[in-house]
Amino acid sequence: MGVRIRPMRAADLAAVSSIEKQITWSKRVGSLRKHLAAMLKAREGVCLVAEVDGAVGGFLVGDVAPWEFGEDRQVAWIKVVGVDPRHQGAGLGKKLGQAFLKEMRARGIRRVKTLVEWYSGDLVAYFQSLGFDRAGAIVLERFA
């Protein structure tokens, strides 16, 4: 299995969207594609795909927050990561995460954050394998 991590292109969006549909039950499936198309067009963020034998098998999208309360340096966020169920557990997610972290280090960014639902044990284990640990902040929310 030949795996290659490379920047996402507009031509990858159908495959990314298909992976999203397979791994999430969100009613908002579809909005990711629109947002990614806009990000790629504006050259915003860092959008990566993992190619398996030439086909998109996973993706990771992150960006750099220009400022953040309490931080004196830029902070990067991993917004979404997903691997085709047929390829999960084969190291694609790890390669995508490591590529993103390498890119952030190259940009001089020292802190990378992500939000994970507390019940998503698989995502927590995945991020822990990349060296992430629980942060001190908590998220508050309410119904509008």
Residues of this chain that interact with ligand COA (CB under 6 A) are 23-24, 80-83, 88-94, 122-123, 125-126, 129
Q: How far is the CB of 82 from ligand COA (least distance, A)?
A: 4
Measured from the CB atom, is 68 or 122 closer to ligand COA? 122
Both tokens of 113, joined, read 């954050």
Token pair 């490379």 is found at 6
Measured from the CB atom, is 72 or 141 closer to ligand COA? 141
Q: How far apart are the C-alpha atoms of 99 and 6, rounded to whole Å?
A: 9
Q: How far is the CB of 59 from ligand COA (least distance, A)?
A: 9
Q: How far is the CB of 104 from ligand COA (least distance, A)?
A: 18
Burial class (CB in 10 A: 0-12, 13-18, 19+), 21: middle
